[in-house]
């Protein structure tokens, strides 16, 4: 479920004001000094003046098996080798965008999906990014070092999927998980160490309708990376250069809870009542406001600045017919990310002594309904 439409906001509480320029993107992942670090929107227009420091080089990646044609990280084009664990709605879209931008993309999936990707590539239908087919490589496990790895599986499939990503092969390459919830970060850090894991969220509505077929429905692809600008600015530029909107913010709690404080209320209510977001905000508005306030209180207790009134405003701005990803899973008979979304909210609330009666009731009712 995407959080909101429109350009990446520059003044959300607790998230700072950082845009990323991908207009100049060099082999050292830096920007050309002649660019004066002017920040450009991916469409080419220049947002309000807010200069950022130069993008410094990331720590040099380890030796990586490169494709042909001079497109490796050490080649003249500055293209990278990117692994994508889980080429579904989100991962498939990002993999296709990165491949279209010239990067070597290696998708990690089950044998049937990997075979389909090797044969037909990734086919994207998108009013925002255009309709296109991107050629990618595919395998059932990572067998070579890469410059970057995206983890884009459902939380319910995470543990099994990580067997496709051996820590010894991944090494210290940046690992960017784009999952719902907050608990996955601890699991990834235990397995791969704290250094490679980059806390991040994505806001997009994108669905895999068949292996390698991606329907992108939102007029945006927005990524937030938590950490130091000097380290993650070049990574954000990679995404922006490929057609997403990416920015770096310094606050991990702010990044993770800004999304969960929106997603949990919307996912719980739309799924519990099998209703679109438009129906929820009109027919169940009292419950929506209650859960938003509970989630914001938990977020604040976790160190994030979340304004429930601002979150409600974002809910009201969504197209009335939109559905949460949890509701789509329920309608398709798939396992729900109830623990990753609702469970994470309840656990954080209990640990910090924050009462969340409405959220607790909704989670219990969804658990009881199977």
Please answer whether residues 36 and 254 qualify as being in contact, where contact means their C-beta atoms are separated by less than 8 angstroms. Answer: no
Instruction: Write down the pLDDT at residue 17.
Output: 30
Is pTM beyond 0.95? Reply is no
Kindly give, in sequence order, each residue whose CB lies less than 8 Å from that of residue 285, ignoring residues fewer than 6 positions away. none
Q: Chunked in runs of 10, what are the mean pLDDT values of the chain (370 residues)? A: 38 33 29 29 32 33 34 50 98 98 98 97 96 98 98 97 98 97 97 97 93 93 96 96 96 95 97 97 98 97 94 91 92 96 98 98 95
The boundaries of every CATH 1.10.1040.10 domain in the chain are: 255-368
CA 238 to each of CA 23, 42, 269, 272, 276: distance values in angstroms, whole numbers, following the listed order: 10, 12, 35, 38, 34
Q: How many CB atoms lie within 10 A of CB 54?
A: 16
Bridge partner residues of 175 (DSSP): 149, 197
Of 123, 126, 188, the C-alpha closest to 151 is: 188
Chosen CATH of 255-368 out of 1.10.1040.10, 1.10.3720.10, 3.40.50.2300, 3.40.50.10790: 1.10.1040.10
Instruction: Write down the pLDDT at residue 168.
Output: 97
Instruction: Write down the pLDDT at residue 56.
Output: 29
Instruction: Write down the pLDDT at residue 42.
Output: 35
Instruction: Write down the pLDDT at residue 78.
Output: 75
The answer as to CATH 2.60.120.10 being correct for domain 33-249 is no
As a three-state string, the secondary structure of the chain is: CCCCCCCCCCCCCCCCCCCCCCCCCCCCCCCCHHHCCCCCCCCCCCCCCCCCCCCCCCCCCCCCCCCCCCCCCCCCCCCCEEEEECCCHHHHHHHHHHHHCCCEEEEECCHHHHHHHHHHCEEEEECCCCCEEECCEEECCCCCCCCEEEECCCHHHHHHHHHHCCHHHHCCCCEEECCCCCCHHHHHHHHHCCCCECCEEEECCEEEEECCEEEECCCCCEEEEECCHHHHHHHHHHHHHHCCEEEEECCHHHHHHHHHHHHHHHHHHHHHCCCCHHHHHHHCHHHHHHHHHHHHHHHHHCCCCCCHHHHHHHHHHCCCCCCCHHHHHHHHCCCCCHHHHHHHHHHHHHHHCCCCHHHHHHHHHHHHCC
Instruction: Write down the pLDDT at residue 29.
Output: 31
């Amino acid at each position: 479920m995407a959080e909101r439409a429109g350009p990446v906001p520059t003044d959300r509480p607790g998230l700072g004001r950082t845009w990323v320029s991908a207009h100049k993107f060099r082999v050292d992942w830096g920007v050309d000094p002649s660019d004066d670090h002017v920040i450009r929107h991916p469409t080419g227009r220049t947002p309000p003046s807010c200069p950022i420091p130069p993008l410094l080089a990331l720590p040099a990646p380890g030796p990586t098996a490169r494709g042909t044609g001079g497109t490796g990280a050490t080649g003249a084009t500055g293209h990278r080798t990117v692994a994508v664990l889980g080429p579904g709605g989100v991962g498939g879209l990002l993999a296709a965008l990165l491949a279209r931008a010239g990067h070597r993309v290696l998708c990690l999936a089950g044998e049937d999906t990997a075979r389909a990707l090797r044969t037909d590539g990734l086919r994207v239908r998108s009013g925002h990014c255009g309709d296109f087919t991107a050629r990618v490589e595919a395998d059932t496990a990572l067998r070579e070092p890469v410059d970057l790895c995206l983890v884009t599986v459902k939380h319910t499939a995470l543990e099994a999927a990580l067997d496709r990503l051996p820590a010894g092969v991944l090494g210290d390459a940046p690992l960017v998980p784009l999952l719902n919830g907050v608990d996955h970060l601890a699991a990834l850090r235990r397995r791969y160490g704290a250094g490679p894991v980059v806390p991040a969220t994505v806001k997009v509505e994108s669905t895999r309708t068949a292996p390698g077929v991606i329907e992108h429905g939102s007029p945006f692809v927005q990524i937030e990376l938590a950490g130091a600008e000097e380290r993650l600015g070049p990574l954000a530029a990679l995404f922006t250069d490929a057609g997403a909107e990416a920015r770096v913010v310094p606050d991990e709690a702010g990044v993770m809870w800004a999304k969960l404080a929106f997603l949990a209320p919307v996912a719980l209510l739309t799924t519990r009542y099998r209703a679109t977001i438009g129906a929820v905000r009109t027919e169940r508005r009292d419950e929506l406001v209650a859960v938003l306030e509970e989630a914001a209180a938990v977020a604040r207790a976790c160190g994030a600045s979340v304004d429930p009134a601002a979150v409600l405003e974002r809910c009201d701005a969504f197209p009335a017919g939109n559905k949460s990803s949890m509701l789509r899973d329920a309608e398709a008979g798939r396992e729900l990310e109830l623990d990753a979304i609702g469970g994470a909210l309840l656990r954080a609330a209990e640990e910090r002594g924050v009462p969340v009666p409405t959220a607790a009731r909704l989670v219990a009712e969804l658990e009881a309904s199977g």
